[in-house]
Chain A
Amino acid sequence: MKRKHKRLTFVIVAMALLGIAVGLVLMAFEENIVFFNSPTDIVNKQPESGKRLRLGGLVEEGSVVREAGSTVTRFRVTDLVNAVDVNFDGILPDLFREGQGVITEGKYIDGVFQASEVLAKHDEQYMPPEVADALRNSGEWRGDLGPPAK
């Protein structure tokens, strides 16, 4: 074998081994890389109270209650299988509304998620408002498209 063929083989083998090694490491750390838990995760695992974690899902339709005279908001986060009650005292992001994907960070205490931060998640769909309206009127609207802007 010529020297450059040796080097070529070496680089290919080294890259393949490196790829496998990194893949195994990422699989081993899967739990830590995942950014949030679903309501079903929370209901099944019943995390110890006081442990900080993130809960992600959709804001349940009709569940948002804003307490008068304060910045406290109560709502439920659902993955359409299970739902978790959330309390939050603070300013919500612009995209927050019923049906919207959110990620909340806080502690799960006595069956209620006490959030200290609420982040809004948006999907990969982009279209003009008129197209969104047309889709909704024709009944072509898919459930995963999220609610329209106010």
Chain B
Amino acid sequence: MADLHRFANPTRFLKLAGLIQPWALAVFLISATVGLYMAFFTAPADYQQGESARIMYVHVPASWMSMFCYTVMAVASAVSLIWKHPLADVSARATAPIGAAFTFLALATGSLWGKPMWGTWWVWDARLTSVLVLLFLHIGYMALQGAFDDRVRAAKASAILALVGFVNVPIIKFSVDWWNTLHQPASVVKMSGSSIHPSMLWPLLIMAIAFKAYYVWVLLVRMRQELVANKVRILRLKQVHGG
């Protein structure tokens, strides 16, 4: 643990974050450019859904990220509750709006895809409903974090919400297997291997890398901003009390 605690120090974290941040941005810009180019130009139209299937290159990575962000929030919340690690709460709080944005993007692109293919913008099937609940969990977490004046109490209450809400993540993943839904079953992450042709799978995976790098970049920007703001607050307090 002694080794891990070296990075737990906020000052050291700031330095490390400053080093990683430009690389995350570079990976995001490059993979998003390559991924979008492949999605629009090199990837073929689908045998069944035609050109409309191209929206999956945004929809699928956004949906993966919505669950990934919530999982990060839940793990960070557990670390914050159990080990009282100062950076854990900061990272969970920084992740919430990014996760909310990805969840919204997944729902919006899914809706745009659903109209031409299924014939409807929205249905209350198990997959769509559980993802909508995920959006509400992200927003509820942000609201709860903002509802307390006391930072420590806010961290504790919202960490409990994040952990309780985590039961929704496996429900989202397996909703299409446990119940019959209008949404299709998994195409990529499943026991029997991917059922997407490689010419369509590659742009999908490159877009997933782009979204992940974007998350790392924005996360570090938000965490650094918060840590610097904390420093400023402490300096001001010192001035007031020491002056």
Contacts and interface: CB of A to CB of B under 8 A. Distances in A.
A56 interface: yes
Main secondary structure of the interface of A (DSSP, over half): mixed
Contacts of A22: 167, 171
Interface string A6-25: 01100100110011001000
A132 B44 CA distance: 12
A14 B178 CA distance: 24
B184 interface: yes
Interface stretch (B120-128, B142-150, B235-243): B120-128
A124 B118 contact: no
A120 B120 CA distance: 9
A129 interface: yes
Nearest to B129: A33
Contacts of A7: 81-82
Interface stretch (B9-17, B19-27, B47-55): B47-55
B63 to A, nearest CB: 14
Contacts of A64: none
Contacts of B167: 18-19, 22
Q: Which of the listed residues A94, A117, A126 has the most CB atoms from chain B within 10 Å of its own CB?
A: A126
A34 interface: yes
Given A30-B179, A122-B184, A124-B187, A35 B197 contact: no
A127 B180 contact: no
Given A11-B81, A11-B163, A119 B184 contact: no
Interface string A122-144: 11111111111000000000000
Which bracket fits the contact residues of B? Answer: 35 or more
B120 A119 contact: yes
A4 B78 contact: no
Contacts of A128: 44-47, 197, 199-200
B118 A120 contact: yes
B181 A126 contact: no
Interface residues of A, number: 42
Given A19-B167, A35-B179, A128-B199, A94 B117 contact: yes
A52 interface: no
A131 B44 CA distance: 10
Contacts of B196: 125-127
Interface of B: 44-50, 53, 56, 78, 81-84, 116-120, 123-126, 163-164, 166-167, 171, 178-182, 184-187, 195-197, 199-200
27 contacts: A4-B82, A4-B84, A11-B82, A18-B164, A26-B178, A30-B179, A33-B179, A35-B182, A56-B180, A92-B119, A93-B116, A93-B117, A93-B118, A94-B119, A95-B119, A119-B119, A119-B123, A120-B117, A122-B117, A122-B184, A123-B184, A124-B184, A124-B195, A126-B56, A126-B196, A132-B48, A146-B48
Instruction: Sort A-B residue pairs by CB-CB distance and give the 7 closest, nearest first.
Output: A93-B119, A128-B44, A132-B47, A127-B197, A124-B187, A35-B125, A126-B196
Interface of A: 4, 7-8, 11, 14-15, 18-19, 22, 26, 30, 33-36, 56, 92-96, 103, 117-132, 146-149
